[in-house]
Amino acid sequence: MKAACAAGCAAVCLTLLAACSSSGPQAGAASPSAPGQPTPTPVTTSAKSAVPGQPAPQLTVAEASVAFNAFLPQFDELGTDPAAAGQLTIGPERAAQTFLDGQGPAAGALTGERFLVPRMTSYPRWFLAAGSAANRQGFLFVMVQQSGSASWRAAAELYDLSSTPQILPDLSVAGFKTSGLFSQAPAADSALTTQPSALSAAYARYLDDGARGKAFLPGGYTTSYVRQDLRAASSARAAGWRFTDVQSAAILPVYGLKFPDGAGALVIFYTKDATSWTAASASARLPASTSTSAAEPPAQFLHQLRITRASAGLRVTVDSYDENLAFVGPAGAEGATIVVNVGKGVGLSKS
């Protein structure tokens, strides 16, 4: 069974492969496909793709509730049946659940459920399901159905990364206080400060450029993220490693809903993230088994890769997809707000 817990801030990759326990986040146990060189899990959208624009009936809130509450108990059991990830998830979420053998945070029974259903009458269709776990941690799922005969699958599982509830209160502030039908924000919506389809590239460029520019507002997943990366790089140099965190755009679907007042939109999108440590010499420091510092590659990663000593040029890389929730204002407004950025590891390698 998945363990329910709250992860720490994911500005560096220490939580990207997190398999949580009741005592807190720890590095997750992945199953390498070959000794010392796990192969990144490929991202696929679905085993059976829908024909874009295929007519579909309008989904109701009641139908969304039934679909999600049939899905959630099975999803929470992925830790004991990781092979079911192919039937319960798609896209980056499927890649992450497969790579981690389902050992991610579990929602358990949610209270205060909200179902945000877009007004749409074609496949693939989708909806958002949000709620609070027993420990008050907020969860937000993107549920997708590719065709009328297909099951509902999770395309993303976002959750609060701090002890203070964030996702549900922010949804309320944006006007999504209760379940209901809402208008879609088109991928190419030019009425927003940044088109939803352009958010992935814009956010990746913003982080890689050191949070320069005004495309995004200051916050935990923008300016603070960059500051934590800079601190990690400085600590790594002192330990004999070079730390890099490189972002790139992910050419994947985006999911957007217009705010109820029409002044902006909620958008869920993906970015790619490659975090690496490169040893300057054979004297590069190896971490203690209990270390949570980003100065060296985490001990769990080294164990998985069967690395017992450093050598000049040794590189350890974690590949992940970040699932991002953004609030985007209308054209002419200030930059977008990144509400949460949840990193999902899909690959671990050495070179």
CA distances from 70 to 67, 88, 337 (A): 5, 11, 32
Q: Which pLDDT score is estimated for 185?
A: 97
Of 109-123, 225-239, 292-306, the poorest mean pLDDT is in 292-306
Q: Is residue 219's pLDDT more than 60?
A: yes
Per-residue pLDDT tens digits for 26-51: 223 333 333 334 444 444 444 344 56
Q: What does the domain layout of the chain look like in residue ranges? A: 13-350
Q: Is the backbone of residue 188 left (phi > 0), alpha (psi -120 to 50) or beta?
A: alpha
Q: Which pLDDT score is estimated for 51?
A: 61
Report, as an integer, the average pLDDT of 122-147.
96
- In this predicted model, which residue has the larger pLDDT, 98 or 43? 98
Beta-ladder partners of 266:
257, 327
Q: What is the mean pLDDT of the chain?
A: 87
How does residue 12 score in pLDDT terms, banded at 50, 70 and 90?
A: very low
Per-residue pLDDT tens digits for 161-211: 888 899 999 999 999 999 999 999 999 999 999 999 999 999 999 999 999
Q: Is residue 5's pLDDT more than 60?
A: no
Of 3-7, 222-226, 241-245, the poorest mean pLDDT is in 3-7
Q: What is the percentage of the chain residues whose pLDDT exceeds 90?
A: 76
Q: Is residue 102's pLDDT more than 80?
A: no
How does residue 214 score in pLDDT terms, banded at 50, 70 and 90?
A: very high
